[in-house]
Structure 1
Amino acid sequence: MWGEITQEIRIAQTGVQILFGFLLTVVFTPRYADLRDTDQVIYIVTVVLGACATGALIGPVSLHRLVSGRRVKAQAVRWASRLTFVGLLLLLATMTSSLLLVLRVATDDDYVPWLVGGVVMWYGLCWFALPLWTRWRHTTE
């Protein structure tokens, strides 16, 4: 199970690190000063969420390094799985707030929250509903 978790983490980790790296550069652009206060708050929240997601998704690597050879593989796998799940939830929040910020800056239309809500529902379907349905439908007793 450790090998499977590390493969899953590699995919999520790459996405969150690219997004987080991009977010870190935004504050240094000339347009940042022109953002409304609400958009600056959304930006700050997004950066913090991205940092937390990065920490949670890198956490299993550190966990493995620190407990390797201690005969606690089962506990390490359990904690790595939990950290990965928390990282995915934080990644969902980061992507949601990033999308909200970008769409608020790109347009002033009232449909932005609805569009973001639709994308979040899509993420929920792909990341949680379908896997849980598959687990329920195809798990044998």
Structure 2
Amino acid sequence: MDRETEKERWQRNFSDLLQELRVAQTGVQILFAFLLTLPFSSGFPDTNGFQRDVYVVALLAAAAAAALIISPVAFHRVLFRRGRKPELVRFAHRMASGGLSLMLVAMVSSVLLVTDFILPRPVAFVLSGLTGVWFLIFWAALPFVHRGWLDGDEDEEDEEDEGSDGGAGSDGRSAPAT
């Protein structure tokens, strides 16, 4: 089997990341659209001050998540054909991570808003907390637990390069911009 070149690996990493961002982008855009229409619904005037505050948090978190998740597209446009794919992949990885974090805030806040509207506040807090834990299990805990279970496939190098070392390669140095 032929080993891919470094350039091919960066291109594959970027393509994989774009596929992941498409899924996240759709989710955050649907949530953002829902939140944008909520104040115009007939029940919104019945919300209290706490619920409106939670709504603002959810709305701003969804907007910020959308900005971060979509930002790799703008970054790619600026760096297009400049041979800086490693930098683009590292940037897109950071923006995707930040966007997912804000999407978590938007989703938990949205759950809190709705559950506080229809249930007693203590129940709403418990359900929202459980929602946050549920997301963290699937978005953070399980991926980190499985991160160490590499089975020796070709992506092993990718896992080393995409660690939390600030974009540095496995030797601790930043990859040169090509």
TM-score, length of structure 1 as denominator length = 0.95
Write the mapping of 1:1-141 to structure 2, written as runs, cut at 5 A: 1-138=13-150
SS at match of 2:43: helix
The residue identity in structure 1 corresponding to 2:100 is L
Higher relative contact order (CA 8 A, sep 6+): 1
Q: What is the distance in 2 between the residues matched to 1:40 and 1:57?
A: 25
Structure 1 residues 83 and 45, CA gap change in structure 2 (3 angstroms): same
Q: Calculate the aligned-residue CA RMSD, in Å.
A: 1.4
Q: Structure 1: where are the runs of 5+ without partners? A: none
Deviates more, 1:109-118 or 1:43-52: 109-118
Provide TM-score, normalisation by structure 2.
Answer: 0.76
Tell me, what secondary structure is at the counterpart of 2:81?
Answer: coil
Deviation at 1:139, TM superposition (A): 6.7
What's the counterpart of residue 6 of structure 2?
none
Equivalent residue letter for 1:6? L
Counting matched residue pairs gives: 141
Secondary structure of 1:138's counterpart equals coil
Rg larger for: 2
Q: Distance in 1 between matches of 2:53 and 2:123?
A: 20
Distance 1:65 1:110 in 2: 47
> Which amino acid in the other structure matches residue 132 of structure 2?
V
Identity over aligned residues, as a percent?
Answer: 37
Ranges of 4+ aligned residues in structure 1 off by more than 2 Å: 137-141
Structure 2 portions without partners, runs of 5+: 1-12, 157-178
Instruction: Give the residue type in structure 1 aligned to 2:70.
Output: I
| AA aligned opposite 2:90 | R
